[in-house]
Amino acid sequence: MKITNQVVEKHGLKTEEYSSIKKLLKREPNLLELGIFSAMWNEHCSYKSSRKHLKNLPTKGKQVIQGPGENAGVIDIGDDDAIVFKIESHNHPSYIEPYQGAATGVGGILRDVFTMGARPIALLNSIHFGSPDHFKTKSLLNGVVSGIGGYGNCIGIPTVAGETKFNSTYNENILVNAMAVGHAKKDKIFYSKAKGLNKSVVYVGSKTGRDGIHGASMASAEFDENSEEKKPTVQVGDPFTEKLLMEACLELMKDNSIISIQDMGAAGLTSSSVEMASKGELGIEIHLDKVPCREENMTPYEMMLSESQERMLIILEDGKEKHAKEIFKKWDLDFVVIGKTTDTNKLILKYNNIIEGEIPINALASKAPIYDRKWIKKKLTKSKVDIKKLKKIKIEDALIKILSSANHSNKKWITNQYDQMVMCDTAQKSGSDAAIIRIHGKEKAIAVSVDSSANYCKAHPITGGKQIVCENWRNLISVGARPIAITNCLNFGNPENPEIMGEFAECLLGIKESCEFLNYPVVSGNVSFYNGTNKKNISPTPVIGGIGLISKFKKPINHQFKKNNSTILLIGKTFGHLEQSVFLEEIYSISDGQPPEINLVNEKNNGENILEIIKNNLVNSVHDVSNGGLIIALAEMSMGSNYGVKINKPKKLTNLLKYFFGEDQSRYVLEVDKNNLGKVEKILKNNNIFYENIGSTQKDYFEIQGELKIDIKELYKINDRWYNNY
Identify which of residues 154 and 393 has a Cβ nearer to other proteins in the complex.
Answer: 154
| Stretch touching other proteins by CB under 8 A, among 1-9, 144-152, 403-411, 569-577 | 144-152
Rounded Cα distance between 369 and 366, Å, is 8
Identify which of residues 88 and 238 has a Cβ nearer to other proteins in the complex.
Answer: 238
Identify which of residues 207 and 512 has a Cβ nearer to other proteins in the complex.
Answer: 207
**Contact map string, positions 316 to 355, toward other proteins, x by CB under 8 A:** ---------------xx-----------------------
Contact 24, 360 (CB under 8 A): yes
**Contact map string, positions 424 to 463, toward other proteins, x by CB under 8 A:** xxxx----------x-------------------------
| Stretch touching other proteins by CB under 8 A, among 242-250, 305-313, 358-366, 590-598 | 242-250
Contact 316, 259 (CB under 8 A): yes
Does position 236 interact with other proteins (CB under 8 A)? The reply is: no
| Strands, E assignment, 581-667 | 621-624, 643-647
Rounded Cα distance between 382 and 251, Å, is 59
Q: Is 408 a catalytic residue?
A: no
Does position 211 interact with other proteins (CB under 8 A)? The reply is: no
Contact 452, 544 (CB under 8 A): yes
For the purposes of burial, counting CB atoms within 10 Å of the CB of 589, is it exposed (0-12), middle (13-18) or buried (19 or more)?
Answer: exposed
- The torsion angles phi and psi of 395, rounded to 5 degrees, stand at -55, -45
Catalytic residue among 44, 128, 183, 214: 44
Does position 510 interact with other proteins (CB under 8 A)? The reply is: no
Which residues in the 549-608 window bind other proteins by CB under 8 A? 553-556
Q: Following DSSP, what letter does each residue of 222-273 receive, concatenated? A: -B-TTGGGGGGGS----HHHHHHHHHHHHHHTTTT-EEEEEE--TTHHHHHH
Q: Following DSSP, what letter does each residue of 514-563 receive, concatenated? A: HHHHHT--EEEEEEE---EETTEEPPPEEEEEEEEEESS-SS---SS--S
Does position 416 interact with other proteins (CB under 8 A)? The reply is: yes
Q: How far is the CB of 423 from other proteins (least distance, A)?
A: 7
Rounded Cα distance between 241 and 309, Å, is 9
Identify which of residues 58 and 150 has a Cβ nearer to other proteins in the complex.
Answer: 150
Q: How far is the CB of 520 from other proteins (least distance, A)?
A: 27
Identify which of residues 108 and 431 has a Cβ nearer to other proteins in the complex.
Answer: 431
Does position 726 interact with other proteins (CB under 8 A)? The reply is: no
Alpha-carbon torsion 691, 695, 697, 703, what sign? negative
Rounded Cα distance between 2 and 700, Å, is 76
Within a 10 A sphere around the Cβ of 135, how many other Cβ atoms? 8
Does position 146 interact with other proteins (CB under 8 A)? The reply is: yes
Partnered with residue 336 across adjacent β-strands are 203
Q: How far is the CB of 416 from other proteins (least distance, A)?
A: 5
Q: How far is the CB of 489 from other proteins (least distance, A)?
A: 25
| Stretch touching other proteins by CB under 8 A, among 191-199, 516-524, 548-556, 660-668 | 548-556
Identify which of residues 320 and 438 has a Cβ nearer to other proteins in the complex.
Answer: 438
* Number of residues forming the site for other proteins (CB under 8 A): 35
Q: How far is the CB of 266 from other proteins (least distance, A)?
A: 25
Does position 395 interact with other proteins (CB under 8 A)? The reply is: no
Q: Is 92 a catalytic residue?
A: no
Identify which of residues 422 and 683 has a Cβ nearer to other proteins in the complex.
Answer: 422
- The torsion angles phi and psi of 288, rounded to 5 degrees, stand at -70, -25
Within a 10 A sphere around the Cβ of 259, how many other Cβ atoms? 22
Rounded Cα distance between 598 and 578, Å, is 14
Which residues in the 698-717 window bind other proteins by CB under 8 A? none
Does position 633 interact with other proteins (CB under 8 A)? The reply is: no
- The torsion angles phi and psi of 411, rounded to 5 degrees, stand at -100, 20
Rounded Cα distance between 630 and 668, Å, is 9
| Stretch touching other proteins by CB under 8 A, among 75-83, 212-220, 241-249, 663-671 | 241-249
Within a 10 A sphere around the Cβ of 326, how many other Cβ atoms? 12
Q: How far is the CB of 415 from other proteins (least distance, A)?
A: 8
Does position 238 interact with other proteins (CB under 8 A)? The reply is: yes
- The torsion angles phi and psi of 569, rounded to 5 degrees, stand at -110, 135
Please identify which residue in 7, 236, 370, 422 interacts with other proteins, judged by CB under 8 A.
422
Alpha-carbon torsion 626, 627, 629, 633, what sign? negative
Rounded Cα distance between 20 and 22, Å, is 5
Does position 302 interact with other proteins (CB under 8 A)? The reply is: no
Does position 244 interact with other proteins (CB under 8 A)? The reply is: yes
Strands 159-166 and 119-129: parallel
Please identify which residue in 70, 88, 310, 419 interacts with other proteins, judged by CB under 8 A.
419
Does position 358 interact with other proteins (CB under 8 A)? The reply is: no
Rounded Cα distance between 248 and 330, Å, is 8
Identify which of residues 148 and 219 has a Cβ nearer to other proteins in the complex.
Answer: 148
Does position 307 interact with other proteins (CB under 8 A)? The reply is: no
Helices (H), 28-81: 31-41, 43-46, 51-54
Identify which of residues 329 and 377 has a Cβ nearer to other proteins in the complex.
Answer: 329
Q: How far is the CB of 4 from other proteins (least distance, A)?
A: 43
Q: How far is the CB of 95 from other proteins (least distance, A)?
A: 22
Identify which of residues 145 and 399 has a Cβ nearer to other proteins in the complex.
Answer: 145
Identify which of residues 239 and 629 has a Cβ nearer to other proteins in the complex.
Answer: 239
| Stretch touching other proteins by CB under 8 A, among 195-203, 388-396, 493-501, 547-555 | 547-555
- The torsion angles phi and psi of 338, rounded to 5 degrees, stand at -110, -5
Catalytic residue among 90, 128, 183, 460: 90
Residues classed as catalytic: 44, 90
Residues that bind other proteins (CB under 8 A): 146, 149-150, 153-156, 238-241, 243-244, 247, 331-332, 412, 415-427, 438, 553-556
